Amino acid sequence: MAIREIIKLPDKRLRLVSEPVKKIDAGIRALIDDMFETMYAAPGIGLAGIQVGVDKRVVVMDLSKKDDTQKRQVFINPEVTWASDEKSTHEEGCLSIPEYYEEVERPAEVKIKYLDLDGKSREIAAEGLFATCIQHEIDHINGVLFIDHISKLKRDRVIKKFTKAAKTAAKKVEA
């Protein structure tokens, strides 16, 4: 097990469309272990493979409250099969856009089809925080970020801020 580096805006890899997992082998299981360790350490409630630089359609999640027993959830090749017309708004954040939070409107309820760790196909309904989080993670594996759902003015502002911060950090390393 190892904590992997979480890639941050404006890293272009966050815009990749991740590849479906063909076989759930030892490499995928090790990736999933590392993703949980990385997510808990951050801390966060969800993580997509591409956030640790791996463009495979793998998502881990744990929506349990701090100090409660862990509720690990793994979604391999997840897809939305149904979304409600009803929308709901939640404040979102992202480990790849640290310390930026904004309200995002999404379908209130969705149905998700995915493979579990044993490669078994499953379908599940999601609402509330679960619906928000799984849609946020499925966006990641399609190269979409939550800031793509907010106004262009706010999006451009946050991209500019992170681009500037990355340039300053690169200069410091040079010096």
Which residues does the annotation mark as catalytic?
137
Q: Which of 34, 62, 109, 137 binds ligand GNR (CB under 6 A)?
A: 137
Q: Which residues, 6 or more positions from 82, have their beta carbon under 8 angstroms from its beta carbon?
A: 110, 111
Q: Which of residues 18-77 bind ligand GNR (CB under 6 A)?
A: 44-48, 51
In angstroms, what is the minimal distance from the CB of 7 to ligand GNR? 11
The percent of the chain in helix, strand and coil, each rounded to the nearest 5, is 35, 30, 35
Q: Return d(Cα 26, Cα 67) in angstroms, integer.
A: 30
Q: Return d(Cα 97, Cα 146) in angstroms, integer.
A: 9
Q: Is position 136 an interface residue for ligand GNR (rule: CB under 6 A)?
A: yes
44 binds, among Ni ion, ligand GNR, none (CB under 5 to 8 A by kind): ligand GNR
Closest by CA to 44, choosing from 32, 30, 62, is 62
Closer Cβ to Ni ion, 43 or 119, answer by number: 43
Asked if 103 and 91 touch (Cβ cutoff 8 Å), the reply is: yes
Applying CB under 5 A, the residues found at the interface with Ni ion are 94
Closer Cβ to ligand GNR, 58 or 115, answer by number: 58
In angstroms, what is the minimal distance from the CB of 121 to Ni ion? 25
Asked if 76 and 58 touch (Cβ cutoff 8 Å), the reply is: yes
The footprint of ligand GNR (CB under 6 A) covers 44-48, 51, 92-96, 132-133, 136-137, 140
